[in-house]
A and B are shown apart, each in its own frame.
Chain A
Amino acid sequence: MAVQLGSVLMDACVLAVVMREDTYGYKLTQEVQKVMDVSESTLYPVLRRLQKSGFLKTYDCPFQGRNRRYYSVTEKGKEQFCQFYNQWELLRDKIDDIMQQGMLE
């Protein structure tokens, strides 16, 4: 896809995926890659950033003799996601408008 996501949208998308259910890095990457062409190398910094801001927390779960690190949305993260979502709706409508007007010409 030619359109590049900014870091704010990227944060919002990752929060959205984790909002559905707690998940771990590998699965998260596969989920996100279904929708957009994001190289995984950008996903770790996103997760780290969200964690540092207190939007995500992590916990380890034993799996086949090792630990899997799960990410989970905090209360603060849920609030942040709602804000993201509202802002996204506004932006989406405006961009829709501009794009559609262009198509009509």
Chain B
Amino acid sequence: MTKKEYLRELKDRLSHLPREEREEALKYYEEYFEEAGDKTVEEIIDELGTPEEVAEKILADFNQEPGTSSEYEYRSQEVKQNVQKKSKMSKVLKIVLIIFICIIVLMVIAVIAGFSMFKSIAIHTIDNVGMISSQVIDHENDFLEAEDIFQKTISVGENQDGEINLSEKKFDSIELSDIASSFEVVQGSEWKLNYHLENPEQLEIAVKPDDGSNVLQIRYPLTKEDQDRNRDEKIVLTIPKENKLRSFDIERCLGKMNLAGISSWEFDLEGNLGEINLSDLTAEKSISISQSLGKVDVKRIKTANLEIGSNVGKITGEEISVSQVLEIEESLGEVELRGSFPCNMEIEENIGKIKLEVTGATEQDYNYRVVESLGGYQIGEFSSKTIGSSFERNNQSLKNILIKGNMGNVAISFR
């Protein structure tokens, strides 16, 4: 087990906790791992216990607390109160409004923080031109474990176009971060990287061994002089056909991202500024798209969980298949998805309009609960435009749709 897997499992096991509680706990354990530095995961597990044990203790402690019931109970109490005492409604709405204002403020802060982080990275890069490997070690704790950091062979200022053959290595995970150019991931015959870049010397490629497998890390950070950087800059990563990855992370990238025909246990896209196009992706566990500023377009993806959270740009999707949970939360822009969703759906605290077209199912295939919605909603034939009205229907199904605290309209139709 790697540290990342440990934290992921813990996160999954704590999924019943309210978000704030869960994040606090995860932050604590993340910090613990960082402080533990060069200790192996096994040593840390000896100290901490397995994720299962840790989660059990946290959940037990949480449930013991007087006055704290589980989130589910809490929610249903809310619903009852809404129905029974209409006078309380204005209070609930006030709280929802406050939550929304907080979300907006937080998102603005997140974007600003993202930019300043970018700047500091950029300055760091300039100070260390020509010392890429030591800079990499300085920059992130993760790299301390690296035994094998290789630099591309192209020297500074030369060939703006190039190809790097990566076929000697076998990669299980890919981490892209701070990439200022556009980036494309395609299927091919072998691992390779092609690029057309103004400053190829700033392209950083590292291979990080992680529990017997390799992680491919790629960065191409923005520098001080890059105000008028060429828009044609492009990096293309080719992954062999039928190669199955464990994780694919894309963080804080500036340019346009295109991913096509890739299969990974999970995909995690966070804090990207440019347009994102995903097509023909398969994920056994999850695809998560969060804090994107640009437009996101998704086509033909198959996943157990699809998480769409805190995005600013419009999100569109076609031929999507989700088997366990579809989560759409805190979106500022519109979200429009079409596909097959034989799963639970949670649509919460969105500001933009949400439109879902469900294929291969009828209204009767789900149970519904709509609470605290400021926008209108439409579920099949049933619709309401009354602010704050709640609606509950139990169709004895195993699949639930929860629509809670949304400001924009939510429309779900069935074909």
B53 touches A66 (CB 8 A): no
Q: Which residues of A contact B34 (CB under 8 A)?
A: 66
**Binary interface profile of B, 14-33, with partner A (CB < 8 Å = 1, else 0)?**
00000000001101110110
Q: Is A68 an interface residue (CB 8 A)?
A: yes
Measured in the bound complex, the distance between the Cα atoms of B35 and A45 in whole Å is: 19
Q: Is B54 an interface residue (CB 8 A)?
A: yes
Q: Is B49 an interface residue (CB 8 A)?
A: yes
Q: Which residues of B contact A45 (CB under 8 A)?
A: 57-58, 60-62
Q: Is B48 an interface residue (CB 8 A)?
A: yes
Q: Is A94 an interface residue (CB 8 A)?
A: no
Q: Which residues of B contact A24 (CB under 8 A)?
A: 31, 35
Q: Is B36 an interface residue (CB 8 A)?
A: yes
Give the contacts of B30-83 with A (CB-CB under 8 A): 31-32, 34-36, 47-49, 53-54, 57-58, 60-62, 65
Q: Which of A39, A48, A52, A64 contacts B47 (CB 8 A)?
A: A39
Q: Which residues of A contact B54 (CB under 8 A)?
A: 41, 44
Q: How far is the CB of A48 from chain B (nearest CB, A)?
A: 7
B57 touches A42 (CB 8 A): yes
B31 touches A25 (CB 8 A): yes
Q: Which of B31, B49, B60, B61 contacts A48 (CB 8 A)?
A: B61
Q: Which of B32, B53, B58, B141 contacts A26 (CB 8 A)?
A: B32
Q: Which residues of B contact A66 (CB under 8 A)?
A: 31, 34
Q: Is A33 an interface residue (CB 8 A)?
A: yes
Measured in the bound complex, the distance between the Cα atoms of B32 and A41 in whole Å is: 11
B31 touches A41 (CB 8 A): no
Measured in the bound complex, the distance between the Cα atoms of B32 and A21 in whole Å is: 19
Q: Which residues of B contact A25 (CB under 8 A)?
A: 28, 31-32, 35
Q: Which residues of B contact A67 (CB under 8 A)?
A: 31
Measured in the bound complex, the distance between the Cα atoms of B311 and A38 in whole Å is: 42
B47 touches A69 (CB 8 A): no
Q: Is A72 an interface residue (CB 8 A)?
A: no
Give the contacts of A4-34 with B (CB-CB under 8 A): 24-27, 29, 33
Q: A39-B48, A39-B49 are in contact. Are A44 and B29 (CB under 8 A)?
A: yes
A interface size (C-beta, 8 A): 21
Q: How far is the CB of A21 from chain B (nearest CB, A)?
A: 16
Q: Which of A26, A41, A48 contacts B36 (CB 8 A)?
A: A26
Q: Is A49 an interface residue (CB 8 A)?
A: yes
B61 touches A49 (CB 8 A): yes
B35 touches A41 (CB 8 A): no
Q: Is A40 an interface residue (CB 8 A)?
A: yes
A68 touches B53 (CB 8 A): no
Q: With CB as the reference atom, state the residue of chain A lying closest to B51.
A: A41
Q: Which residues of B contact A69 (CB under 8 A)?
A: 27-28, 31
Q: Which residues of B contact A68 (CB under 8 A)?
A: 31, 35
**Binary interface profile of B, 273-304, with partner A (CB < 8 Å = 1, else 0)?**
00000000000000000000000000000000
Q: Which residues of A contact B58 (CB under 8 A)?
A: 44-45, 48
**Residue from the set B27, B28, B36, B54 with the largest chain A CB neighbour count within 10 Å:** B28
B32 touches A48 (CB 8 A): no
A44 touches B25 (CB 8 A): yes
**Binary interface profile of B, 382-407, with partner A (CB < 8 Å = 1, else 0)?**
00000000000000000000000000
Q: Which residues of A contact B32 (CB under 8 A)?
A: 25-26, 29, 40
Measured in the bound complex, the distance between the Cα atoms of B34 and A67 in whole Å is: 10
Measured in the bound complex, the distance between the Cα atoms of B28 and A69 in whole Å is: 8
A33 touches B47 (CB 8 A): yes
Q: Which residues of A contact B28 (CB under 8 A)?
A: 25, 44, 47, 69
B53 touches A41 (CB 8 A): yes
Measured in the bound complex, the distance between the Cα atoms of B34 and A26 in whole Å is: 9
B31 touches A40 (CB 8 A): no
Q: With CB as the reference atom, state the residue of chain A lying closest to B44.
A: A40
Q: Which residues of B contact A41 (CB under 8 A)?
A: 48-49, 53-54, 57
Chain B residues within 8 Å of A, Cβ to Cβ: 24-25, 27-29, 31-32, 34-36, 47-49, 53-54, 57-58, 60-62, 65, 141
Chain A residues within 8 Å of B, Cβ to Cβ: 24-27, 29, 33, 39-42, 44-45, 47-49, 52, 64, 66-69
7 A–B contact pairs at CB < 8 A? A27-B35, A39-B48, A41-B54, A41-B57, A45-B60, A48-B25, A69-B27
Extra inter-chain contacts (16) besides given A42-B57, A69-B31, CB under 8 Å: A24-B35, A25-B31, A26-B32, A26-B36, A27-B35, A39-B47, A39-B48, A40-B49, A41-B48, A41-B57, A44-B25, A44-B28, A45-B58, A45-B62, A64-B141, A68-B31
